[in-house]
Structure 1
């Protein structure tokens, strides 16, 4: 074989061998890279998930990182664990729990309320987006029998306290395509009519009852499943309320702390008869007030009034016939009574802090007008929570929930 041919073959085999070595090296590199990839896969997942959660790739679904975790179930020092399957029907309670806030706070975020900080709002909205929660309960799997109406049973719409409660509740539910049917229990006749026609209440999707006993309304009939009590408590049903016994104690302590030692103490309250209308709201306030007064060896003059401003006017007038020599310390168990009391004292030329101290309960708009020191009833918060309890019950919650809210003193002129 000629030298030229030998050189050609040698070069050919050399090139072939070099190519084989390169291919082998490439395959080896791929295998090493693959092993390294497997060893670092959890960290890659964390990186991908962090990038997604940071908002850098907002166009992609937020749960991509979670889906990667399903592919590679790994538990290591970086705490990558298999995620639970996401609830297909998250509730507002789930959102509140994960965001570590109350149900009312979530509701305020959904309604774009200014009472929530931007940080909290951002946190709640992120949880809502991740869970896929829909606040529109009409889009939920509701029964075809629902007629998008709710009942509101209240003692007296003429009382400003219940009027405000109705207004807030009606505004709240109308935003969610519901209408509110009011059942005012003005007297015994109206109560008997409702007892005879409770089917009207049963035909709505839920019943809000304010300051009344459930048993007195339904008596021998089984109450509707979705009952929410506002300003009263029953362990069988959802309820949001203020501890009225503590309200009375707070009022007593305030008067003791802000009155001279020789003061004469008065309790002007509404006498609740032990009948169907009894809610024990005023009774609890009276008991708390009198207990503290007894502990401090203070004698209390008790007088009963109607739930109207002129009721307080007439009631205090029967006790204070003329300008008293001693300082008067007065607890009116609601603002409407308190306004009447203050009106009478003004006509007697008595001045707050000089001749008397007066504290009431509710913090209605009229109390601001008369500069009445009062204990605030959180009506707005009670309505918010009551509605959200209705929402969660429609979403399947069965166990009754109870929310006790704090009542605080709003100090004004008296």
Structure 2
């Protein structure tokens, strides 16, 4: 059978090949009615674009590089889902580069690495202010930060200071003792994140304003085994009744597991508040600060796609706010 071509789509839709190409590339300069006609022709013919030909014709890779700390946590799986959803709609492939240590970071800063051969670059979470100010990141292609902020570059970020403040305000209203568990995120001095620093600052500001003290603070790496170990240390040291703010749901889940093993009444003797609202949080009755991870990632991708489509305006910042969700882990229904 004859394999449909872009010319076949153009003939069926009654438009030029260039218009079909613009629709395939999600170009803004196409009327909605024309776009729908072309998309209908594509569906009717079951036309599948040749990505290799597309790359040659457009002089572009149609690939986006995504650099992020790790790819094994729930947060980054959700972040990737949001990014990939937007890029796939625009018919871009993604290449994922996990930055596990400084050596990889230094390698990616080189002039000929694969990460920089894409049309655009997404950098997730890490504080890149120093690197940007020192021109250590190459800028030959558009870049967007997600779950992070820096001057002079497009960003989609969570208001983590507000989230920490909301957690502090909640704990300040609870009777008994207050504790916090933070995530250790610094891999080295140049390779840092502001996320948990901002959550901590907001939390402590709210507690201080309420005249409340934190009875104890603990730090865990972002690892399930480490989180469970630290959960045991927290409960060993805690005086009850106690309310604990776990700055990530991974840590909160470990506290719930350890409390169950010890027979501690969660919701009364022990209250646990997390941060993220991971997909499993509702089933476990975990009170938490909900953050729209997928929406934040989708918005970051949209900012980058606008640059790739010709936007040359000033840097844009999209800020998302967390939402307090109360469930049984804090004695709420």
TM-score normalised by structure 2 residue count: 0.76
Distance change (3 Å), C-alpha of 1:129 and 1:235: farther
**2:220 corresponds to 1:305:** yes
Change (3 A) 1:304 1:311: same
- Contact 1:309–1:338 (CA under 8 A) maintained in structure 2: no
CA contact (8 A) 2:181 2:219 kept: yes
In the alignment, which residue of structure 2 is the partner of 1:36? none
C-alpha separation in 1, matches of 2:90 and 2:268: 51
Q: 1:181, CA displacement in angstroms?
A: 0.4
Matches within 5 A, 1:243-258: 243-257=159-173
Aligned to 1:379: 293
* Partner residue, 1:150: 64
Q: How many residues align?
A: 286
Alpha carbons of 1:175 and 1:220: their partners in 2 closer, same or farther (altered >3 Å)? Answer: closer
Match of 1:230 in 2: 146
CA contact (8 A) 1:373 1:413 kept: yes
User: In the superposition, relative to structure 1, how do residues 343 and 224 fare at CA in structure 2: closer, same or farther (>3 Å)?
Assistant: farther
Task: Give, in angstroms, the shift of residue 244 of structure 1.
Answer: 0.5
Matches of 1:143 and 1:387, distance apart in 2: 24
Distance in 2 (CA, whole Å) between partners of 1:128 and 1:351 is: 57
SS at match of 1:393: helix
Pairwise CA distance, 1:251: 0.7
Equivalent residues of 1:153, 1:209 under 8 A apart: yes
Structure with a larger share of its residues in strand: 2
Return 5+ residue gaps in structure 1 as ranges: 1-89, 96-126
> In structure 2, what is the equivalent of residue 165 of structure 1?
79
Question: In 2, are the aligned partners of 1:371 and 1:412 still within 8 Å (CA)?
Answer: yes
Corresponding residue for 1:290?
Answer: 204
**Alignment partner of 1:355 out of 266, 269, 274:** 269
Distance in structure 1 (CA, Å) of the matches to 2:137 and 2:239 = 56
Tell me which residue corresponds to 1:270. 183
Task: Indicate if the aligned counterparts of 2:66 and 2:121 stay in contact, CA closer than 8 A.
Answer: yes
Name the CA distance, whole Å, in 2 between partners of 1:224 and 1:235.
17
Say which one has the larger Rg.
Answer: 1
Other-structure match for 2:233: 318
1:330 to 241, 244, 248: 244
Going from structure 1 to structure 2, the CA distance change for 1:388 and 1:325 (only over 3 Å counts) comes to: closer
1:131/1:158 CA distance change after superposition, 3 Å:
closer
What runs of 5+ residues in structure 2 fail to find an aligned partner?
1-25, 40-50
- Map 1:11-410 to 2 at 5 A: 128-129=32-33, 144-196=58-110, 199-214=113-128, 220-257=136-173, 259-260=174-175, 263-273=176-186, 275-300=189-214, 301-321=216-236, 325-398=239-312, 399-410=314-325
RMSD: 3.1
Does structure 2 conserve the Cα–Cα contact (< 8 Å) formed by 1:311 and 1:337? Answer: no
Per residue, is there more helix in 1 or in 2?
A: 1
Q: Name whichever of 311-320 and 181-190 sits farther off.
A: 311-320
CA shift, 1:384, in A, is: 2.1
Task: Tell me the distance in 2 between the aligned counterparts of 1:143 and 1:210.
Answer: 31
Question: In the aligned structure 2, how far is the partner of 1:143 from the partner of 1:298?
Answer: 64
Q: Report the secondary structure of 2:281's partner residue.
A: helix
Shift of 1:240: 0.8
